[in-house]
């Protein structure tokens, strides 16, 4: 059935339908029964991973600032949507903004897709849950729709690296489409209104990498803003506002022409629609830093195990990257947590000293510790390699006994090709939720997600995202 729906949607493109209309026709008609079992399993895994990251990030400074601003906008009035980890409620778009910011606050949410697809899609599902009558099956299909649209738009824009090299933060620029798709599916919009939602979302989407220069909080805010934008766009479409049907491919002012001139690959937007679900191209983070550092960390840990050396035996390290590697990750001055999470020197230094790169190595910062500073000074990031799309830089390890090793990790732990096991995922989730809500609540949340397709109303899930006794919205 799914293939038939997808074939009919693509046939519409041949008859003159736009890319947006084709995507909307497929996802508006898609049913839970059409989804492959593997896609449903992935949807549950990413939902659990994302909620854990959001709960852990709910009390960060950036999430607190987002919540204060949202409450100021709403003048303190309650809404129907829960704010994770808090007793406050907000209107759905504002709740999606706050929760999306919290989910990305610690750099522990998923990667791939549009960059960080979960942080723009999952907050939308939870924000609309307060309206009631949203079944677990509907939520799972909506999640798949959001991941799919967000990734397909980025692929059509030329892919992550070309988009990123132009200064665009793809989670912000492409994430709004995913948020709108999730909301449109959850609200049951027909294909016409679904396309309008995507069009409206695409007209006001954005996000630039300027935050990297000084460690500003705005990186964490980008997915929250994209979630808010996509949800608001869908509510506008549901109320009758139209959106540009050629928002992606319009020659002047279209998303591809504006955000990816000369590199856009529009044909990839529909490749495998209905048979290849883009959630399968996302991954989960075992380490609390930018994904671009994970392969180097895995290489370091592998070589330390292979040689039996500890940090005291390391004379130095060289990361053999390209110009983009240096631009993004060559960072010795650490002033904020974001600086540390984008510093190759910091991540490798604390990794070598502790044997891990979990949240406790980035919060609180260790950059003033003499051992960390000394090792950071012995780590170079050089631009001496040509890296293919999707390829990570090799790491050279120099030991004090004269040995030199070089290792390149093709698929770092957590990648779709090297996924976290169910046990590893549960360990991560427990480490993030238990300190906030306790072990019993954590077990209940895991069990709820694992059987989500059986829920007639996902408010049973959102009740587990707030303190005991708090009632999210009209639940």
pLDDT confidence of residue 4: 60
Mean pLDDT score of the chain, rounded to an integer?
95
Mean pLDDT along residues 132-142: 95
pLDDT band at 14 (very low <50, low <70, confident <90, very high): low
Q: What is the pLDDT of residues 175-208, one digit of tens each?
A: 999 999 999 999 999 999 999 999 999 999 999 9
* CA–CA separation, 221 and 224 (whole Å): 5
Tokens at 174, concatenated: 């492409």
To the nearest 10°, report the CA torsion of 116, 118, 120, 124.
180
- The answer on pLDDT for 1 being more than 90 is no
Residue 132: pLDDT band (50, 70, 90) is: confident
**Pairwise CA distance, residues 462 & 134, whole Å:** 11
Reported as a single tens digit per residue, the pLDDT across 268-326 is 999 999 999 999 999 999 999 999 999 999 999 999 999 999 999 999 999 999 999 99
Cis ω before 144 (30° cut-off from 0): no
For residue 48, which of 135, 112, 113, 139 has the smallest C-alpha distance? 139
Q: How far apart are CA 228 and CA 224, in angstroms?
A: 6
Which tokens go with 210?
């300027």
Confidence class of residue 5 from pLDDT cuts 50, 70 and 90? low
Query: Is a pLDDT exceeding 50 seen at residue 473?
Result: no
Query: What string of DSSP letters covers 274-303?
Result: TTS-GGGGEE--SSSS-GGGHHHHHHHHHH
Confidence of residue 12 (pLDDT cuts 50, 70, 90): low
- Please classify residue 456 by burial: count the beta carbons closer than 10 Å to its beta carbon, then call 0-12 exposed, 13-18 middle and 19+ buried: exposed
Residues 76-91 have pLDDT tens digits of 888 999 999 999 999 9
pLDDT tens, position by position, 463-472: 999 998 775 5
Q: Summarize pLDDT for 349-404 with one digit per residue, the tens.
A: 999 999 999 999 999 999 999 999 999 999 999 999 999 988 999 999 999 999 99
Stretch 44-59: mean pLDDT: 98
Residue 52: the pLDDT is 98
Greatest Cα pair distance, the chain, in angstroms, is: 71
pLDDT value of residue 468: 86
Question: What proportion of the chain, given as a percentage, has pLDDT over 90?
Answer: 93
Could you give all domains of the chain from N- to C-terminal order, each with its CATH number? 2-283 (1.10.4100.10), 291-407 (3.30.1330.120)
Residue 156 near residue 269 (C-beta atoms within 8 A): yes
Looking at residue 344, its pLDDT comes to 98
More confident residue, 4 or 106: 106
Average confidence (pLDDT) over 204-230: 96
Q: How many Å separate Cα 281 from the centre of its chain?
A: 12
pLDDT of residue 475: 32
């Amino acid at each position: 059935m799914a293939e038939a729906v997808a074939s009919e949607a693509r046939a519409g493109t041949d008859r003159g339908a736009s890319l947006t209309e084709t995507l909307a026709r497929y996802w508006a008609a898609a049913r839970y029964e059409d989804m492959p079992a593997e896609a449903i399993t992935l949807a549950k895994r990413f939902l659990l991973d994302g909620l854990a990251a959001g709960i852990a990030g709910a009390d960060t400074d950036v999430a607190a600032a987002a919540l204060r601003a949202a409450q100021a906008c709403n003048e303190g009035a309650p809404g129907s949507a829960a704010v994770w980890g808090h007793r406050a409620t907000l209107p759905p778009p504002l709740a999606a903004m706050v929760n999306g910011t919290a989910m990305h606050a610690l750099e522990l949410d998923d990667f791939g897709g549009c960059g960080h697809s979960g942080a723009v899609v999952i907050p939308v599902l939870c924000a609309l849950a307060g309206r009631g009558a949203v079944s677990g099956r509907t939520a799972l299909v909506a999640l798949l729709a959001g991941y799919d649209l967000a990734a397909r738009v980025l692929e059509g824009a030329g892919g992550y690296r070309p988009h990123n090299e132009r200064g665009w933060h793809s989670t912000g620029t492409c994430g709004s489409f995913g948020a709108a798709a999730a909301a449109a599916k959850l609200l049951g919009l027909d294909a016409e209104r679904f396309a309008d939602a995507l069009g409206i979302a695409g007209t006001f989407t954005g996000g630039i990498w300027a935050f990297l220069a000084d460690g500003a909080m705005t990186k964490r805010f980008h997915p929250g803003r994209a979630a808010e934008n996509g949800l608001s766009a869908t509510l506008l479409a549901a109320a009758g506002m139209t959106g540009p049907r050629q928002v992606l491919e319009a020659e002047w002012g279209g998303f591809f022409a504006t955000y990816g001139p000369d590199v856009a690959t529009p044909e990839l937007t529909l490749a495998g629609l209905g048979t290849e679900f883009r959630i399968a191209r996302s991954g989960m983070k075992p380490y609390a830093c930018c994904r671009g550092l994970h392969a180097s960390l895995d290489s370091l840990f592998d070589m330390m195990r292979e040689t039996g050396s500890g940090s005291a035996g390391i004379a130095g390290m060289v990361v053999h990257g390209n110009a983009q590697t240096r631009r993004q990750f060559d960072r010795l001055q650490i002033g904020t947590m974001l600086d540390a999470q984008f510093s190759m020197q910091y991540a490798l230094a604390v990794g070598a000293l502790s044997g891990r790169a979990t949240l406790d190595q980035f919060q609180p910062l260790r950059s003033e510790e003499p051992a960390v500073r000394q090792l950071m000074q012995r780590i170079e990031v050089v631009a001496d390699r040509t890296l293919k799309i999707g390829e990570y830089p090799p790491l050279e390890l120099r030991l004090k006994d004269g040995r030199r090793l070089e290792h390149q990790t093709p698929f770092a732990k957590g990648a779709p090709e090297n996924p976290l096991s169910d046990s590893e995922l549960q360990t991560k989730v427990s480490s993030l939720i238990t300190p906030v809500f306790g072990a019993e609540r954590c077990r209940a949340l895991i069990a709820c997600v694992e059987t989500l397709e059986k829920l007639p109303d996902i408010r049973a899930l959102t009740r587990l995202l707030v303190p005991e006794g708090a009632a999210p919205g009209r639940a």
